[in-house]
Amino acid sequence: MQKITPCLWFDAKAEEAMNFYTSIFKNSKKGNITHYGEVGPGPAGSVMSVTFQLDGQEFIALNGGPQFTFTPAVSLFVNCEAQEEVDALWEKLSEGGEKLHCGWLTDKFGVSWQIVPSALGEMLQDQSVEKSQRVMQAMLQMDKIDIQKLKHAYEQ
């Protein structure tokens, strides 16, 4: 069991979110579903919380009510090895949500995601300040991150 587990607060869509996320990520699985009892605070029998794994990372989703909503102040960062993975996750996670800039998107539940190729981090950490700055400038012009365009900027 991992020591720290992110808990995502939903109004009433924790189970729907679990089903959506586990359908997208490989090596994912659904966990336990708990229900509110007679003492609430949610309606008796309704889903209180769910547990699930996304590529081995444990999550808890709580149906806590409308008091809190998601903001981009906390996002889920997905490190991708290939453009095909970036493309697939970008399209699937943004369905019903919003595509933003620099690899960021908001899904249909309001959760913020960063879909980032590992190549970006490698290029930004290059010892050549000029190369890393060209890559940064290229990335700042993108919505979905394009590895080929980053490589082109890097190799100029």
pLDDT in tens, 84-109: 999 999 999 999 999 999 999 999 99
Q: What pLDDT score was predicted for residue 144?
A: 98
Q: What pLDDT score was predicted for residue 40?
A: 84
Per-residue pLDDT averaged across 135-150, rounded?
98
Q: Which option is the CATH number for 70-156: 3.10.180.10, 3.90.1660.10, 3.40.190.10, 1.10.1200.30?
A: 3.10.180.10
User: How many alpha carbons lie under 13 Å from residue 46 in its C-beta half-sphere?
Assistant: 15
Q: Is the pLDDT reported for residue 42 higher than 80?
A: yes
Per-residue pLDDT averaged across 105-127, rounded?
97
3-class DSSP assignment, residue 92: helix
Question: What separation in angstroms does the CA of 131 have from each of 50, 113, 115, 120, 123?
Answer: 45, 26, 22, 12, 8
In the chain, where the domains are located: 1-67, 70-156
Q: What pLDDT score was predicted for residue 1?
A: 72
Q: Percent of the chain beyond pLDDT 70?
A: 100
Rounded to 5°, the CA angle 112-115-117 comes to 160
- What is the architecture of the domain spanning 1-67? 2-Layer Sandwich (3.30)
As beta bridge partners, residue 79 has 116
E strands present in 64-144: 75-80, 98-99, 104-106, 112-117
Q: What percent of the residues of the chain are helix, what percent strand, and what percent coil, each to the nearest 5?
A: 35, 30, 40
**Within its chain, how far is the Cα of 4 from the centroid?**
17
Per-residue pLDDT averaged across 50-79, rounded?
97
Q: Is the pLDDT reported for residue 36 higher than 90?
A: yes
Domains 1-67 and 70-156 share a fold: no
> In whole numbers, what is the pLDDT of the chain averaged over residues?
97
Q: What pLDDT score was predicted for residue 2?
A: 87
